[in-house]
Structure 1
């Protein structure tokens, strides 16, 4: 990891915060939410999106690890109201329901 990349990772990590589905609904309505599977490193994915790393992002999209949040998942989140984590990489908001404790870097 380069110094620039690690600086960006640290910046994004500091901007990552817990959030409710209710707070995210306006972003969903605009089509600006990207869902990150819970086993993945939310901040690393945000970093790749911010750096426009097309190879990694494409791989995650194809593998189903990253993608636009669909109506079915939105309805599930509305019904369950779980704790979510999000980070903004304009114009996107990357969101995740954590399934494991975050890794420390």
Structure 2
């Protein structure tokens, strides 16, 4: 495993939505589809792998949360997400 992937793996955390709200307010949340590996997505973003990231965006596998999702999570602030930070973004994935 590359050093970057090892570093990202060590940073994975489960965080309540209420602690992610400041990041959502600065439009820094990226929602990762359940079918993607959070470490792979973080690695691709950190390494500026534009082709892969653009493909995921076009397939709606990574995206900014929509207003309905934000409203739902704001009404349930203890909803948990698996997260990693890849500056300036916080990548989130629904806890399973």
**TM over 0.5, shorter chain:** yes
Q: Secondary structure at the match of 1:24?
A: helix
1:77 maps to 2:73 = yes
Q: CA deviation at 1:93?
A: 0.6
Q: Which of residues 41, 48, 51 is equivalent to 1:52?
A: 48
Segments of 5+ residues of structure 1 without an aligned counterpart are 100-105
How many matched pairs?
Answer: 95
Q: CA deviation at 1:55?
A: 0.5
Structure 1 partner of 2:84: 87
Q: TM-score, normalised by structure 2?
A: 0.91
Q: Secondary structure at the match of 2:84?
A: strand
Deviations 1:45-104 (A, max 9, x none): 0000000000000000000100112221111222344220111110111111034xxxxx
Q: Which of residues 6, 12, 32 is equivalent to 2:8?
A: 12
Segments of 5+ residues of structure 2 without an aligned counterpart are none
Q: TM-score, normalised by structure 1?
A: 0.84
Q: Residues of 2 paired with 1:98 and 1:53: CA distance? A: 26
Q: Aligned-pair RMSD on alpha carbons?
A: 1.3
Q: Secondary structure at the match of 2:63?
A: strand
